[in-house]
């Protein structure tokens, strides 16, 4: 999830923005609709006044219809239609109110004023895209259709909402499109880190991401040139060193003194071993991918390492079954195990090494001897020796550590009850 944190953040911001806009427009829609209904509902007062005057004056129906027609109002006379409107129509608003009527009366004492209060109710309904008003009075009810008014329409708000929604969505789409080169750049960097040295970061874009890509491309070219120069230098150096070493070895045999022959032979042998280790280190560090990896039985790799170490098999206890297999570069992994056997032999008190698989399915090398004087990381540095008088850890553990890293493993160390334990974890 952390790998896509920027994308997730942008999508979250998009979701929050769209939800917020939707809520704002929904609240605006409800408020706008309510205001519209309240505004047109005030027309009931005109209808009530016309209808009340009609009842007081007992004017004809024709006169009532004429007065209502002035305001584009029409009396619904059909009872079935009225019932249909009441049962199927949607009530938009209903409100009760009181009507005050004042009249002069005469009795034995003379004239007096009589005030009459009537409870009335006005209901606004929507039926078949028309607006109707029902006025309920103690003397009767009346249903009136408003020919002018139209039901509330949310088309304008929906249009504004859709436009805003699209603008926000398109803005985020443009942002994501601008980020897509960054995603491709990350994938290319990952491929470059895995050893694809020829991948190109060059782009024609001139924005910030394009500038970064082009700068990385320049860095890639410089790094490749340095690596090629280094590889060429090491290979030429080792090639040039092997010739004088071979000549020196041959010349040594012509010396008359056996002591001198042995001394020079030892010197040239150490030089040859050092050149071989340099070549192995160069091979490990320049290992681009795992195309040379194959599946091998671990016991076969260990047998090859014992042969390379040229030690008696009785001095090596291998407690590993033939069913244990692994993906490895045979030559490199065999060299790593061979170096571990050499070190175990040199520093063990009994000249014996035990090789086995522990409970965590890790390859272990055990030998009896003294605890390492320094932490393990001290010995995996190149040209580090525990005892300068011995041909020991110079490049051995450094090479082992480099080979294990190429196999996605690490070298670990434990000491328990007088036993040194090196682990390929």
Q: Is residue 361 part of a domain?
A: yes
pLDDT band at residue 1 using 50, 70 and 90 as cut-offs: low
Is pLDDT above 60 for 394?
Answer: no
- Identify the domain boundary among 234, 256, 285: 285
Q: Is residue 188 part of a domain?
A: no
Taking the chain, what is the end-to-end CA distance rounded to the nearest angstrom?
28
Q: Is residue 75 part of a domain?
A: yes
Task: Clarify whether residues 272 and 250 are in a common domain.
Answer: yes
List, for residues 194-244, the tens digit of each pLDDT value.
Answer: 777 788 888 887 777 788 888 888 888 888 888 777 777 767 766 667 777
> Whole-angstrom Cα distance, residue 274 to residue 276?
5
Q: Is residue 386 part of a domain?
A: yes
List, for residues 347-387, the tens digit of each pLDDT value.
Answer: 888 888 899 988 888 899 998 888 888 888 777 776 555 55
Q: Is residue 196 part of a domain?
A: no
What is the model's pLDDT at position 391? 46
Contacts of 145 (CB under 8 A, 6+ apart): 73, 74, 75, 76, 130, 131, 132
Q: Is residue 310 part of a domain?
A: yes
Cα torsion at 159, 160, 162, 168 (round to 10°)? 160
Task: Clarify whether residues 347 and 303 are in a common domain.
Answer: yes
> Whole-angstrom Cα distance, residue 142 to residue 74?
11
Task: Clarify whether residues 258 and 328 are in a common domain.
Answer: no
What is the model's pLDDT at position 112? 46
Task: Clarify whether residues 298 and 413 are in a common domain.
Answer: yes
Q: Which CA distances in Å does 118 have to 63, 68, 100, 138? A: 23, 22, 7, 7
- What average pLDDT is seen over the chain? 78
Q: Is residue 217 part of a domain?
A: yes
The sign of the torsion formed by the CA atoms of 47, 53, 58, 64 equals negative
List, for residues 275-290, the tens digit of each pLDDT value.
Answer: 776 666 666 666 655 6
Q: Is residue 353 part of a domain?
A: yes
Task: Clarify whether residues 142 and 168 are in a common domain.
Answer: no
CB contact burial 67-98 (16+ within 10 A = b; e otherwise): bbeeeebeebeeeeebeebbeebeebeeeeee
Claim: this prediction has a pTM higher than 0.95: no
Task: Clarify whether residues 408 and 365 are in a common domain.
Answer: yes
The domain spanning residue 415 has which CATH number?
A: 3.30.565.10
Task: Clarify whether residues 264 and 115 are in a common domain.
Answer: no
Task: Clarify whether residues 324 and 239 are in a common domain.
Answer: no
Task: Clarify whether residues 49 and 139 are in a common domain.
Answer: yes
Which residue bears the tokens 């480099």?
402
Q: 8 is in which domain, residue-wise?
A: 2-39+155-181
- Identify the domain boundary among 263, 285, 307: 285
Task: Clarify whether residues 255 and 274 are in a common domain.
Answer: yes
Task: Clarify whether residues 35 and 159 are in a common domain.
Answer: yes
Instruction: Please state, for a pLDDT cut of 70, what percent of the chain lies above it.
Output: 83
Count of structural domains, the chain: 4
Task: Clarify whether residues 89 and 128 are in a common domain.
Answer: yes
- Identify the domain boundary among 285, 319, 352: 285
List, for residues 305-362, the tens digit of each pLDDT value.
Answer: 888 778 888 888 888 888 888 888 888 888 888 888 888 888 888 888 899 988 888 8
């Amino acid at each position: 999830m952390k790998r896509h944190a920027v994308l997730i953040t942008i999508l979250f911001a998009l979701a929050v923005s769209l939800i917020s806009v939707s809520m704002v427009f929904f609240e605006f829609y409800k408020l706008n609709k309510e205001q519209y209904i309240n505004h047109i509902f005030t027309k009931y007062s005109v209808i009530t006044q016309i209808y009340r005057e009609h009842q007081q004056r007992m004017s004809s129906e024709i006169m009532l219809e004429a007065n209502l027609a002035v305001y584009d109002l029409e009396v619904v006379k059909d009872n079935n239609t009225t019932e249909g409107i009441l049962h199927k129509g949607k009530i938009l608003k209903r409100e009760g109110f009181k009507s005050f009527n004042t009249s002069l009366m005469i009795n034995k004492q003379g004239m007096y004023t009589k005030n009459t209060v009537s409870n009335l109710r006005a209901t606004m309904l929507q039926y078949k895209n028309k607006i109707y008003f029902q006025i309920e009075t103690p003397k009767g009810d009346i249903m009136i259709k408003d020919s002018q008014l139209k039901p509330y329409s949310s088309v304008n708000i929906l249009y504004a909402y859709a436009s805003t929604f699209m603008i926000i969505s398109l803005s985020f789409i443009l942002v994501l499109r601008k980020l897509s080169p960054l995603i491709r750049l990350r994938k290319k960097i990952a491929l470059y880190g895995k050893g694809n040295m020829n991948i190109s970061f060059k782009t024609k874009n001139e924005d910030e991401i394009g500038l970064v890509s082009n700068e990385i491309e320049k860095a890639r070219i410089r790094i490749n040139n340095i690596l090629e120069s280094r590889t060429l230098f090491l290979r030429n150096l080792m090639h040039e060193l092997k010739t004088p070493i071979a000549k020196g070895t041959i010349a040594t045999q012509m010396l008359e003194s056996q002591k001198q022959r042995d001394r020079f032979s030892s010197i040239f042998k150490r030089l040859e071993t050092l050149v071989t280790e340099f070549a192995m280190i160069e091979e490990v560090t320049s290992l681009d991918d795992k195309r040379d990896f194959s599946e091998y039985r671990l016991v076969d790799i260990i047998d090859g390492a014992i042969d390379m170490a040229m030690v008696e098999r009785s001095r090596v206890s291998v407690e590993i079954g033939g069913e244990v297999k692994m993906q490895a570069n045979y030559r490199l992994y065999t060299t790593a195990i061979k170096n571990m056997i050499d070190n175990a032999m040199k520093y063990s008190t009994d000249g014996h090494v035990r090789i086995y698989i522990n409970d965590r399915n890790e390859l272990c090398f055990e030998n009896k001897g003294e605890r390492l004087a320094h932490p393990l990381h001290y010995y995996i540095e190149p040209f580090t020796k525990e005892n300068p008088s011995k041909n020991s850890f110079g490049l051995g553990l450094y090479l082992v550590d480099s080979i294990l890293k190429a196999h996605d493993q690490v070298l670990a160390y434990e000491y328990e009850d007088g036993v040194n334990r090196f682990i390929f974890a």
